Structure 1
Amino acid sequence: MPDLEDLYREIILDHYRNPRNRGELDTPPAVRAEGFNPLCGDEVIIYVQLADGVIEDIKFGGQGCSISQASSSMMSATVKGRTVEELQRFNHAFRSMMSIEPDPDDPAPVNGNSPDVKLGDLEALKGVVKFPVRIKCATLSWHTLTQAVEEAQATS
């Protein structure tokens, strides 16, 4: 599968070099959350603006490795315009894909998608599970977005 791995590598590099939704949003109305991975120094800042349970706008900032920054870009492009419920399904499917050990109580297949969730470019990150120390790089933006959405829901 070297061709597929090369394609995935190109998708990751494209999102790293040409990030989608990089920037800031005014707070308020947006909520700002920060995530930090002390193991490698990755920093992610997520700005999210909710309106009627929909992610109306999302931006990210910070610095870090190509995996953390590409994952932030892919995540923001995937969830922008989606409902919080859809976000939760994407988050679950992505975290399941990033799992090393199967969770017997998890209805979603490990290292695969739920049938109703198509991860798109995010699937390019599935090779990260071969490097367990990098999983935190790929999931940092998802944890930070979850924190931002919870804060936005609590203040609305």
Structure 2
Amino acid sequence: MNDLDQLYQQVILDHSRERHGAGALTDPHAQSHQVNPTCGDEVTLGIRIVDGRVEAVGWEGDGCSISQASISIMHDLVDGADLETVARLEREFNTLMHSRGRGVDEAILDDLEDAAAFEGTAKYPNRVKCALLGWMALKDALAQAGAALPEADGA
């Protein structure tokens, strides 16, 4: 394992142990419960949207280190962000997770910050759903709140 792979593995382990944003959100505008039936990972994510921004995200979950770390990192990326930024990050993470480990543009990795640690996870199709679980809950909660993510330009 090279140094970058070790660093990425440590980022995932750190986030799975110290889960940022973990805990039920008080008075969410919307909430989504998602389950990965393949492995049993689950999350209940609540969100508050104010003036086109994610005012708060809170979540409770159980599952593998990949799913729980991904939700923790997602929280850090989207908490306080405007919906256009959230949409861009969601598209970039989705691109990363469907790259099958072939790599993505460095600008995407830079933009995703700690979420770039999941680049190696993309090599394992059975783990991609684990990493995407929280993002699916986020998209669903946003849609329920009437704040569906804007589509990409030209999409």
Runs of 4+ that moved beyond 3 A: 112-117
Q: Is 2:109–2:116's contact at 8 Å kept on the other side of the alignment?
A: no
Report what 1:77 is aligned to: 76
> In the aligned structure 1, how far is the partner of 2:124 from the partner of 2:67?
14
Report what 2:60 is aligned to: 61
Cα deviations by residue, 1:113-142 (Å, 9 ceiling, x for unpaired) = 656970000000111011110000000110
Q: Does 1:9 align with 2:9?
A: yes
**Unaligned stretches of 5+ residues in structure 1:** 102-108
- Give the letter aligned to residue 48 of structure 2: Q
Q: Which moved more, 1:87-96 or 1:117-126?
A: 117-126
Cα deviations by residue, 1:89-113 (Å, 9 ceiling, x for unpaired) = 0000000011147xxxxxxx96336
- Give the letter aligned to residue 92 of structure 2: A
> In the aligned structure 2, how far is the partner of 1:133 from the partner of 1:22?
25
> In the aligned structure 2, how far is the partner of 1:71 from the partner of 1:20?
10
% of aligned pairs identical? 38
Report what 2:150 is aligned to: none
Q: Does 1:137 align with 2:130?
A: yes
Q: How many matched pairs?
A: 146
> In the aligned structure 2, how far is the partner of 1:116 from the partner of 1:132?
19
Cα deviations by residue, 1:12-65 (Å, 9 ceiling, x for unpaired) = 0110011100001123x4311111100000001111100011000001111000
2:143 is aligned, of 138, 142, 150, to 150
> In the aligned structure 2, how far is the partner of 1:95 from the partner of 1:139?
8
- Give the letter aligned to residue 43 of structure 1: E
Q: Is 1:99–1:110's contact at 8 Å kept on the other side of the alignment?
A: no
**Unaligned stretches of 5+ residues in structure 2:** 148-155
Q: Secondary structure at the match of 2:145?
A: helix
> In the aligned structure 2, how far is the partner of 1:143 from the partner of 1:113?
24
> In the aligned structure 1, how far is the partner of 2:108 from the partner of 2:69?
24
Across the aligned residues of Structure 1 and Structure 2, the Cα RMSD in angstroms comes to 2.0
Q: Which moved more, 1:110-119 or 1:33-42?
A: 110-119
Q: How high is the TM-score relative to the length of structure 2?
A: 0.87
- Give the letter aligned to residue 62 of structure 1: G
Q: Secondary structure at the match of 1:62?
A: strand
2:119 is aligned, of 120, 126, 141, to 126
> In the aligned structure 2, how far is the partner of 1:115 from the partner of 1:39?
28
Q: Is 2:94–2:132's contact at 8 Å kept on the other side of the alignment?
A: yes
Q: How high is the TM-score relative to the length of structure 1?
A: 0.87
